[in-house]
Amino acid sequence: MKSRDQRRQRKTGKKSNSRPVPKRKHLAPQTAEEHFSKSERFQDTWERVMHVIAKMRNDRVSLQQASREFGLDPRIVIRLGASALRKRGNGQYVAKATDRLLRILVILTEQGLSEIAIRDSRQASQLAKYWDAVQRYLETGDSSGIRRIRRKYITDANGKRIPLLKNLDELNRLGSAGVLSFESLYARAA
């Protein structure tokens, strides 16, 4: 059956005046400002999408398993995190080795905790290793993990280098002041 516009075009010889439906440019936030301008619900969903993709990449679990663990519909993960996923020939989705999705993460500075925007999954992994080493040091006194971290800084989404705090005296001071909490790398710094 032909659409109404096709029938009208044939009768009058003119195309219809209906406008094409514009495509959405992007669903994923591109900047920290764009991320924080969205609703709290979207920000929570975005954070969980990042967790799902990280779980798929690091633990090599399926999209369905990782989505279930973080309480998301797999279709939402596909829609928001499409650039970080690859569809195999058998129809299953797997996480790409790296991605450029925006993440708002917490970093440790001499002044305390601070939020930064990162657009590189490798930078996010490096920051996670740093946090693991800091947590191990504060819990056990083992500083070998901190010494093993070769990178001296993390590059944020704007290309600014933010130094990693590796001074053990400063870490002790911040840890005993109660500034450090290890609930989540994605948690708010406020």
Ordered DSSP codes for 56-112: HHHH---HHHHHHHTT--HHHHHHHSGGGEEE-TTS-EEE-S-----EEEEEEETTE
Residues 128 and 81 in one domain: no
- The answer to whether residue 186 is domain-embedded is no
Say whether pLDDT at 96 is over 70: yes
Say whether pLDDT at 12 is over 90: no
Residues 85 and 120 in one domain: no
Residues 54 and 76 in one domain: yes
Q: What percent of the chain has pLDDT over 70?
A: 81
Residues 78 and 121 in one domain: no
Say whether pLDDT at 15 is over 80: no
Task: Give the model's pLDDT for residue 18.
Answer: 63
- The answer to whether residue 89 is domain-embedded is yes
pLDDT band at 189 (very low <50, low <70, confident <90, very high): very low
- 3-state SS class at 161: strand
Residues 162 and 109 in one domain: yes
- The answer to whether residue 181 is domain-embedded is no
Specify the range with the lowest mean pLDDT, choosing from 10-24, 105-119, 129-143: 10-24
- The answer to whether residue 14 is domain-embedded is no
Domain boundary among 45, 70, 95: 95
Q: What is the pLDDT of residues 178-188, one digit of tens each?
A: 777 665 555 55
Say whether pLDDT at 73 is over 80: yes
Task: Give the model's pLDDT for residue 161.
Answer: 93
- d(Cα 104, Cα 12) in Å, to the nearest integer? 55
Short-list 29, 88, 28, 98, CA closest to 57: 98
Specify the range with the lowest mean pLDDT, choosing from 10-24, 57-71, 89-103: 10-24
Residues 168 and 117 in one domain: yes
Task: Give the model's pLDDT for residue 172.
Answer: 87
Q: Do 86 and 97 touch, CB atoms closer than 8 A?
A: no
Question: Per the structure, how many domains does the chain have?
Answer: 2
Q: What is the pLDDT of residues 23-67, one digit of tens each?
A: 555 588 988 999 999 999 999 999 999 999 999 999 999 999 999
Residues 70 and 37 in one domain: yes
Instruction: Over range 13-22, report the average pLDDT.
Output: 59
Domain boundary among 95, 121, 141: 95
- The answer to whether residue 166 is domain-embedded is yes
- The answer to whether residue 135 is domain-embedded is yes
Task: Give the model's pLDDT for residue 190.
Answer: 43
- The answer to whether residue 6 is domain-embedded is no
Task: Give the model's pLDDT for residue 151.
Answer: 83
Residues 122 and 85 in one domain: no
Task: Give the model's pLDDT for residue 16.
Answer: 55
Residues 156 and 110 in one domain: yes
- The answer to whether residue 138 is domain-embedded is yes
CATH of the domain at 68: 1.10.10
Domain boundary among 55, 72, 95: 95
Residues 85 and 55 in one domain: yes
Residues 111 and 163 in one domain: yes
> For residue 90, what are the domain limits?
32-95
